[in-house]
Structure 1
Amino acid sequence: MRVCLIVEGTYPYITGGVSSWIQMIIENIPDVEFDVVHLAPWKWSRPFSYKMPVNLKSVYEYPLFSVDFKKDGEMLDEKEIVRNIRQLLFLKESRVEFFSNILRSVSGKHIDYILQSKTFWQFLVDIYERYFYEEGFPSFYWTIIGFVLPILSAIQSIPPKADIYHSTTTGYAVLSALSGKYIHKGKLIVTEHGIYHREREIEIIKSTSIQEIYKKTWIEIFRLISETAYQECDALTTLFEKNQLFQFELNADIRKSRVIPNGIDVKKFSAIEPVEHDTFNIGMIGRVVPIKDVITGIKAFDIFVKKHPNSKLYIIGPTDEDEEYYQRCVDIVRLFNLEEKVIFTGRANVLDYYPLIDVLLISSISEGQPLVQLEAMASGIPVVVTNVGNCPEIALDPDGQSGFVVEPKDYQAMAEKLDVLASDKHLCKTFGENGRKIVQEKYNLEKMISEYRRLYEEVLSSAIQNT
């Protein structure tokens, strides 16, 4: 069996979340050969963040903002392509079927050249004059090109031949995966850790770089891609039931759907022994990027430390992914005079820090099912998490509470819950014991790997039976 995993801007360069999940999948199914297709806005020069498993045969890289205007290979009628795009824009029904047929017809073909054609130019002028005539044409033109380029690039990012294409998003990655499915006759599995179209919708709505007049169109494009992925895939997985409901809103087929929770190496983390320390240590583990909302965590610590001065905040994770945001975090630490209390570790082995941590704080504004929450629980560490993704359901599991839940951005509430835990060692112990039990029963690595192995075998078996 050969499986091609297709990712956007994560593995093997970015640590945490999806990347850690991919590494665990590949390492723990050693009899399956894997390839990885990595799509990103640019070619990355940084080194890999993971040691490549022996069964990972190749990593393919495709930039999402590249064009190839050469008219070589099999050519398609540019007028027909533009005619189909125009028709798609005005369809009221059967848009998914029509879009999937377009993808089938263009998969594996170089079609960038249509951007230089008179037909495409006239199409843009028509759309401009009909809907966007009050906007400046240069701004309109480059906005549309910015929409179109990554879609064309993803469609032309043809993955290697594989039995199964496993996409980790319903965005650009799934367009590449669909090309593999159509060209090489493979099967398609889609796994969503977070719900892609909802995350992009939030980003677009909040964006200051996209003009309001274009936001609805851009949101609809992502919804259409997601809905098409749900229809065309052979299996659809996500991490928890609430995510499934969002998938069903876009007509995901319940017969293809299943929930496979994340899993961790429980033995490794439950073997961690606390190290004696004379401070109360709060840990934030993850990339220092806006979606993790590290700044809110720092604000919460600033309130907390006034009541518990013998405390430290360890921010454990890479700081080089968004250097501007990291600098903002550093500036706020200086503003609050917390330089002696807040430690940015940079990239680090979390196993070196779990023995020192008394509470894990997750202040994110968006999450799926964070591995660090499960790791902390397995280590016997109580948590304070935001009400995003699956964080609250895990922390407030009916079989045992392992922490507190607060609303995103509410640093006052975070500080209050941290204060409760710092003031009640018995409660910390109870939450820690509950966390160990819940992870062992529901989120262990062996169970997760077994589920994905079974899924691969079922999907491949279906392919063999249909040949």
Structure 2
Amino acid sequence: MVSNIQDQEVMGAGDAAEVLPDGVPADGRYEDVDVAIVMESTYPYLKGGVSAVVHDTITGNPDLTFGIIHITWDHNCPRTDLYGMPGNVRWVKVVYLSMTDHPEFTATRPSDLRMNHRERLVLAHRLVDALQALAAGDGEPVWRLIAEGMAESTRRYPLWALLGSAEFMETYRDRMPTLGMSLSELFWCLRDFFSLAYAVLGQTMPRARVYHAHTTGYASLLAANAARENRGSFLLTEHNLYVRDTINTLLGRRMDKPVTVQDYRTFDVGGRERMWMAWWIEMGRLCYPKAYATTYLYPNAVVEARALGLEQETVRVIPNGIVINEFDDVYAKRQAATRALRAKGAGSHVWRLVYIARVVPIKGLLDLIESMRILRERGLRFHLDVCGPTEHMPEYYQRCVARIAELGLEDQITVRGTIDVRRHLDEWDLFLLPSYNEGLPVVSLETMGAGIPTVSTDVGALRLVVVDDITAADGSVLDPSGFIISPGDPALMADRVQQVVSDMDLFEHMSRSARARAEAAFNLIQVNAAYHELYLEGGVGRPAVSPSGNRRQAGEAPPLPRSGRARHRAPRRSPFAARGRALRDRLTFR
């Protein structure tokens, strides 16, 4: 059964024969699915922590069908499936943000509104009223304008055409702060906003019961609107604080710095930066209320999200997880190696250290290189493997390589690039993560499953994973599996590495604790069950209704209309459901 949605994408550069990205239907037809995963520039074309989590969620829910809505910049972005998507992924829909893929946006003129001067003036004031209402906490006027003037299936006029009208620019100048910007500067900034909104709102998405966005920003805007257009439900998962991270990147700040909903009003920044801050913050506030549930990886993320405008009560903490028995063999090897090391003594041992992350500034590899310099000066015998993609920011990768050479550390540091980490876990003694920004890294759990201690920075969920109290099944409270340090302190990283490897009792105890913590608190089967339960809550498995059924708003959980015979049966009695409810009850914040 396929829907009547057909892909009308421009294939770029006028080349109708361009090879489609992996997973995109060649005939442009998209089957109705249970869940549409909505993401920016990640799965299935880029490796990373979020992509790995999404892949685990899909493979862990084999009784559901999935589609992937992949938001990226343009046709030059990666398009090869790096994960081997499972059979329950029915399609990939690629959405391009660049206006080179949306020539109809730039071709539209104010005359296409088909309104006279007075009507354009009224619409301009409505738009300004809606923006002011959003800033005051009410997003509904903006959603009404999206329905009338942006969303393809309900659009009565091209709202973006208003931008080029004298009525709008004069109204905006008179009623909104200009922030010291000229009308020309305001126009081009507003044009950027309109074009990006059009890119994600201007075409009707394939139909799904649940649209599951994995960030705020464009993914949430698209998912919330797709749920409204297709009578589905919108579920939001924040692996990290997208708005915080985007604004910190914009301002060149450290990625662990907090951001609040008021900051675009109070920060000492230029007019253009202030407008972009408002864009990201208010887009989040627009989308948060439309989600029937919002999930986070750790409790502190909920606190930060509330400072960014999250208000609804249906918030749940669902951590990442691993299947612990998949690490039994490597854990046994690591324990045997530790026993042998204790027997012969650690004096002549070359400690095998590993960094596993993308080679990008926020992951802190340059800091770690300085830590290695310090350890060499102290006489420690070690070798560091750097594992992870090097192509995401080539200029930073080159800086790291140059610094290694400048310090003469080529014999102590090997950049291995992207490798199958699980196949090499038995090679490493200590996992080092100097990052400025994390959610809950799956690689931290994988190394813990293998019994590898860590020294990691105090970002995201890492304190919870490594040192906070975790209660085992027997009621005992598990000890830390490593050390947590402040980001940006190479000397402290070196101190903690030396502390772990200089004390075999501590090293062995942390190794056992790492395995126990992963087993007790980060069970992937329970995590997948919790998402399965959320999908059912959002409407998956409910009987289909005819297209004449009442239309509902995004954020609700209505049945989805279909043409022809309904694919969906009565709610499934999934083997995951009971476990999912139990985990939900344990982790839900009311």
Asked if Structure 1 and Structure 2 have the same fold, meaning a TM-score greater than 0.5 normalized by the shorter chain, the answer is: yes
Distance 1:433 1:121, change over 3 A: farther
| Aligned residue number for residue 81 of structure 2 | 48
Query: What amino acid is aligned across from residue 320 of structure 2 in structure 1?
Result: N
- Aligned residue for 1:49, secondary structure, equals coil
C-alpha displacement of 1:206 = 1.9
Equivalent residues in 2 for 1:226-305, closer than 5 Å: 226-249=284-307, 250-254=309-313, 256-272=314-330, 273-274=333-334, 278-305=349-376
C-alpha displacement of 1:345 = 0.8
C-alpha displacement of 1:281 = 1.3
Query: What amino acid is aligned across from residue 292 of structure 1 in structure 2?
Result: K
Q: Contact conserved, 2:35 with 2:210, CA < 8 A, in 1?
A: yes
Distance 1:134 1:175, change over 3 A: closer
CA distance in 1, matches of 2:143, 2:114: 18
C-alpha displacement of 1:16 = 2.0
Deviation per CA, 1:318-353, whole angstroms, max 9, x where unpaired? 111111111111111111111121111111100232
Q: Contact conserved, 2:482 with 2:510, CA < 8 A, in 1?
A: yes
1:199 to 245, 249, 252: 245
1:319 to 373, 390, 395: 390
- Aligned residue for 1:344, secondary structure, equals strand
CA distance in 1, matches of 2:541, 2:113: 33
2:530 to 431, 451, 459: 451
Q: Contact conserved, 1:62 with 1:157, CA < 8 A, in 2?
A: no
Equivalent residues in 2 for 1:412-431, closer than 5 Å: 412-431=491-510
1:188 to 234, 245, 256: 234
Deviation per CA, 1:83-111, whole angstroms, max 9, x where unpaired? 43222333363532222333333322679
| Aligned residue number for residue 154 of structure 1 | 200
2:132 to 90, 93, 107: 90
Q: Which moved more, 1:196-205 or 1:53-62?
A: 196-205
Alignment partner of 1:372 is 2:443: yes
Percent identity, please: 26
Query: What amino acid is aligned across from residue 241 of structure 1 in structure 2?
Result: P
TM-score w.r.t. the length of structure 1 is 0.91
C-alpha displacement of 1:368 = 0.6
- Aligned residue for 1:7, secondary structure, equals strand
Distance 1:220 1:132, change over 3 A: closer
Larger radius of gyration: 2
CA distance in 1, matches of 2:523, 2:291: 27
| Aligned residue number for residue 218 of structure 1 | 276
Q: Contact conserved, 1:114 with 1:120, CA < 8 A, in 2?
A: no
| Aligned residue number for residue 62 of structure 1 | 95
Distance 1:433 1:407, change over 3 A: same
Q: Which moved more, 1:294-303 or 1:165-174?
A: 294-303
CA distance in 1, matches of 2:224, 2:312: 17
- Aligned residue for 1:61, secondary structure, equals strand
Q: Contact conserved, 2:232 with 2:558, CA < 8 A, in 1?
A: no
Equivalent residues in 2 for 1:13-52, closer than 5 Å: 13-43=45-75, 44-52=77-85
CA distance in 2, matches of 1:138, 1:350: 51
Query: What amino acid is aligned across from residue 416 of structure 1 in structure 2?
Result: D
- Aligned residue for 1:95, secondary structure, equals coil
Q: How much is the aligned-residue C-alpha RMSD, in angstroms?
A: 2.8
Q: Which has the higher helix share?
A: 1
- Aligned residue for 1:330, secondary structure, equals helix
Alignment partner of 1:5 is 2:37: yes
Deviation per CA, 1:143-167, whole angstroms, max 9, x where unpaired? 3333332222122253210011000
2:211 to 156, 165, 179: 165
CA distance in 2, matches of 1:334, 1:137: 50
Distance 1:324 1:140, change over 3 A: farther
C-alpha displacement of 1:216 = 2.5
| Aligned residue number for residue 441 of structure 1 | 520
Q: Contact conserved, 2:388 with 2:416, CA < 8 A, in 1?
A: yes
Distance 1:199 1:279, change over 3 A: same
Q: Which moved more, 1:116-125 or 1:155-164?
A: 116-125
- Aligned residue for 2:432, secondary structure, equals strand
C-alpha displacement of 1:14 = 1.6
CA distance in 2, matches of 1:297, 1:232: 42
CA distance in 2, matches of 1:463, 1:225: 31
Distance 1:461 1:89, change over 3 A: closer
1:384 to 444, 448, 455: 455
CA distance in 1, matches of 2:39, 2:47: 13
CA distance in 2, matches of 1:121, 1:322: 42
Distance 1:150 1:84, change over 3 A: same
Alignment partner of 1:405 is 2:453: no
Equivalent residues in 2 for 1:134-149, closer than 5 Å: 134-135=180-181, 138-149=184-195
Alignment gaps of 5+ in structure 2:
1-32, 254-267, 342-348, 470-477, 544-556, 560-590
Alignment gaps of 5+ in structure 1:
none
CA distance in 2, matches of 1:57, 1:240: 31
Distance 1:284 1:81, change over 3 A: farther
Q: Contact conserved, 2:113 with 2:159, CA < 8 A, in 1?
A: no
- Aligned residue for 1:12, secondary structure, equals coil
- Aligned residue for 1:401, secondary structure, equals coil
CA distance in 1, matches of 2:131, 2:502: 59
- Aligned residue for 2:539, secondary structure, equals helix
Deviation per CA, 1:371-421, whole angstroms, max 9, x where unpaired? 111111111001111111111121112232011011111111111101111
CA distance in 2, matches of 1:38, 1:55: 17
Q: Contact conserved, 1:115 with 1:121, CA < 8 A, in 2?
A: no
- Aligned residue for 1:99, secondary structure, equals helix
CA distance in 1, matches of 2:114, 2:456: 53
Distance 1:370 1:118, change over 3 A: closer
Distance 1:121 1:435, change over 3 A: farther
Q: Contact conserved, 1:82 with 1:120, CA < 8 A, in 2?
A: no
CA distance in 1, matches of 2:270, 2:296: 31
Deviation per CA, 1:250-288, whole angstroms, max 9, x where unpaired? 24211x211111111211224212396952111110111
| Aligned residue number for residue 465 of structure 2 | 394
CA distance in 1, matches of 2:277, 2:163: 27
CA distance in 1, matches of 2:417, 2:166: 48
1:346 to 391, 402, 417: 417
C-alpha displacement of 1:125 = 5.6
Query: What amino acid is aligned across from residue 98 of structure 1 in structure 2?
Result: P
